[in-house]
Amino acid sequence: MTALAFDFFASTSPSQVHAKRVPVLASKRPETLAEKLESLSSNDNTESSRDAEGTGMSSVSSPQAMLRELGELIAPRSPAKVHYPLIATDLRRHLPDVSLRRVRAIYNGEVSRLWNDEAMAIRLALAGRRNQKARREFARAAAEMAKTLAAHGLPLTSDQQRVVSALSTEVLA
């Protein structure tokens, strides 16, 4: 099946409008009303995908997965008992009245509801820790690059050296 498309030239003359055939993109399966409503009502935080059975799955991480990732960013390869107080300390920066028991319940997936302020605190704490990790990795890469360039006879300028040293001291602090 093809559709007609029109090429318009910069000219204002109607005789210079040409029709050409363009293939129509056809879906392999018809879109249902529920899918149309889902695509119209979706926002940036929930990206819908389809599994083999056609049921909808959300790509947004669960609060439990986010807390576990936060725990691994704070204290890698530590048991959950160590993670609970560290995560609670991080969350208290954004949500002062969160209890250790509530953190443990979210971490273990025992909560049935999560308040908006708790979800936001988890996202903010996780984003902060991810940002710290990225800055550390960037500083390490910059220092490694400076060493490699110096080894090949291309030393950094004083301004570049100042930036690399500032990055490494900022990350260490």
Q: What is the mean pLDDT of the chain?
A: 77
Predicted TM-score (pTM) of the model is 0.60
Q: For 26-45, what is each residue's pLDDT tens digit?
A: 555 555 655 655 555 444 44
Q: Is residue 1 part of a domain?
A: no
Residue 163 belongs to domain spanning: 63-172
Residue with token string 């029109």: 6
Q: Is residue 109 part of a domain?
A: yes
Q: Is residue 161 part of a domain?
A: yes
Highest mean predicted confidence (pLDDT) among 9-23, 39-53, 86-100: 86-100
Question: Around Cβ 70, how many Cβ atoms within 10 Å?
Answer: 24
Count of residues in the chain: 173
Q: For 75-116, what is each residue's pLDDT tens digit?
A: 999 999 999 999 999 999 999 999 999 999 999 999 989 999
- Ramachandran category for residue 28: left, alpha or beta (phi over 0 → left; psi -120 to 50 → alpha): alpha
Q: How many independent structural domains does the chain possess? A: 1
* First CA to last CA distance, the chain: 64
Q: Is residue 23 part of a domain?
A: no
- Are 66 and 125 a contacting pair, CB within 8 Å? no
- Are 19 and 5 a contacting pair, CB within 8 Å? yes
